[in-house]
Amino acid sequence: MALRNIVTQGDPALAKKCREVTEFNDRIRQLIDDLGDTLLESGGVGLAAPQVGVLRRVIVVLETNVGEDEDEILYELVNPEIIEQSGEQSGPEGCLSVPGVYGIVTRPEYVKVRAYDRDGEPFEVEAHGLTARCFCHEIDHLDGHLFTEKAERILDPEELAEDGEE
Ligand code: ZN
């Protein structure tokens, strides 16, 4: 288990377009492992490579919409791409790289994402609700975008206490 340091807003890594992964080697697999460990430790639901200062197109997303007796699923996606989306949801969103800030962001309710696994095998994954929101948020990171750019408004602390956090 290896934890990496999560960089925060203002770090240049968060504003850059990340490069595609072309070689599926041990270095990439180590990065994926570390992203997973760091995400689980942080208590968040998604993490992108640039958030640990690595400018490659890799994200991990936790699927929390599972049955009571089931374990959460940790998706590992290399070179992810949204190939279908539908619906709309508007709700509070936060980011491990923008601690303590939450804003209302509109995202698709459903997305289908195409990506590669750690061995370079292509696959597709579908997501609804919070997980769909998370895929969009993390893929935005790969293009150097933070949710604060898309937020219709930033919540003030009192609203936050009422809404809880996502
Ligand atoms: Zn984020």
| pTM of the shown model | 0.93
DSSP 16-35: SPPBPP----HHHHHHHHHH
Residue 77: count other Cβ atoms within 10 Å of its Cβ.
25
Residue 103, domain member (yes or no): yes
Provide the 8-state DSSP code for 109.
S
Cα-flanking dihedrals φ and ψ of residue 30, to 5°?
A: -65, -40
CA of 120 to the centre of ligand 1 (A): 25
> 68 falls in which pLDDT band (50, 70, 90)?
confident
67 has a pLDDT exceeding 90:
no
Cα(98) to centroid of ligand 1, in Å? 7
Q: Any idea which residues carry the catalytic annotation?
A: 138
| Residue 66: predicted pLDDT | 84
Domain range enclosing 41: 12-165
Q: For residue 68, tell me if it sits in a domain.
A: yes
Does residue 166 surpass a pLDDT of 50?
no
pLDDT, averaged across the chain:
94
Phi and psi at 127, nearest 5°, equal -150, 150
How large a percentage of the chain has pLDDT more than 70? 96
The count of structural domains within the chain is: 1
How far is the centre of ligand 1, averaged over its atoms, from the C-alpha of 41 (Å)? 15
Going from the Cα of 31 to the center of ligand 1, the distance in angstroms, rounded, reads 17
In a domain, 4, yes or no: no
CATH code of the domain containing 87: 3.90.45.10
Q: Which of 34, 20, 14 is nearest to 76 (CA)?
A: 34
Q: Is residue 1 part of a domain?
A: no
pLDDT tens for residues 92-120?
A: 999 999 999 999 999 999 999 999 999 99
